[in-house]
Amino acid sequence: MTTAINEITVEDVTAANRAAAIRVLAAAFQDDPVFEWWIPDAHARAAALPAVFDAYIDAYAPHDATRLASLAAGAAGVSIWARPGAAIVEPEAEELMFARCLAVIDDDAAVRLQQIGEAFADVHPHEDHWYLQFLATDPPLQSRGVGGSLLQDLLASADEAGQAAYTEATSLRNRALYERHGFEFVREIPLPDGPSLYALWRNPRG
C-alpha cells in the first residue's frame, strides 16, 4: 500500500526497499540517548544497529505495519507498528529476534538490553492498542514532516476504527512530536544509571 502526504510518499517496507529502511533506522538511532546508553561505543553501535533493525523488521513482519516514508531525494523515515489484539511479537519470534541482537553486541550491552525489555514490560498497557515500536527519520531530513507523515499514515486509520495507540519516546524532542499528534504523557521510564524514556498513550479521535 502506498499513500502520499504532501510531498512525502509512504509505503510498505518490502524486499525491494528493506535495505533503505534499515539504513534509515540505523542512522536515526545512532545518536539517540537510549541507544548510546545501550551500546556506548559509537563504532560498536554503528556496526550492530543494521543487524538489530533487520531482526526487528522480521519479528514485526506478521503485523504488516512497517512503513517507509520517502522524499524526492529518497528514503527518509520508517515506522514499525504492532497491531491491536495480537502479541507484539510471538514468543518463538521474540527469542530469535533477541538471539540475533545478542550475536552483534557484547555482554554488557546484552545486560542493558534485558533491562530495557524489563522496563518496557513493567509499564506496557493491557488495553488493546496499536504499539509504535520505532519511529525514525534520517537525520539530514529531520524537520521536513517525515515523522509526522508516518504517524498520520497510521493514526488516521486507527481513529477511523476507534483504536488507541501507545509508544515510548526516547527523548524530549520525540515526546513533543508524539504529543503534537494526540499522544498524552503517561509516565517516565528510567533506565539504570541511564536516560529516561516517556510512555505515551493516545485515545482515538472522533
pLDDT above 80 (res 5): no
User: What is the pLDDT averaged over residues 102-121?
Assistant: 96
Residue 99's φ and ψ, nearest 5 degrees, are -60, -40
pLDDT in tens, 133-142: 999 999 999 9
3 state DSSP class of 46: helix
Between the alpha carbon of residue 93 and those of residues 40, 55, 98, 99, 133, the distances in Å are: 27, 10, 9, 10, 15
Identify the band that residue 3 occupies on the pLDDT scale cut at 50, 70 and 90. low
User: What is the pLDDT averaged over residues 13-42?
Assistant: 97
Residues paired with residue 132 on neighbouring β-strands, in sequence order: 81, 167
pLDDT above 80 (res 173): yes
Question: How many domains would you assign to the chain?
Answer: 1
User: How does strand 66-71 pair with strand 74-82?
Assistant: antiparallel
Set of cell numbers at residue 39: 551500546
**Terminal-to-terminal C-alpha distance of the chain:** 24
User: What is the pLDDT averaged over residues 82-89?
Assistant: 95
Set of cell numbers at residue 171: 527523548
Question: Which pLDDT score, from 0 to 100, does residue 73 have?
Answer: 83
Let me know if 29 is exposed, middle or buried by CB neighbors in 10 A (0-12, 13-18, 19+).
buried
Q: The domain spanning residue 148 has which CATH number?
A: 3.40.630.30
- CA nearest to 67, candidates 119, 3, 157, 117: 3
pLDDT in tens, 157-168: 999 999 999 999
Task: For cell 495507540, name the residue.
Answer: 165
Structural domain for 37, as ranges: 2-202
The model's pTM is 0.94
3 state DSSP class of 32: coil
pLDDT above 90 (res 46): yes
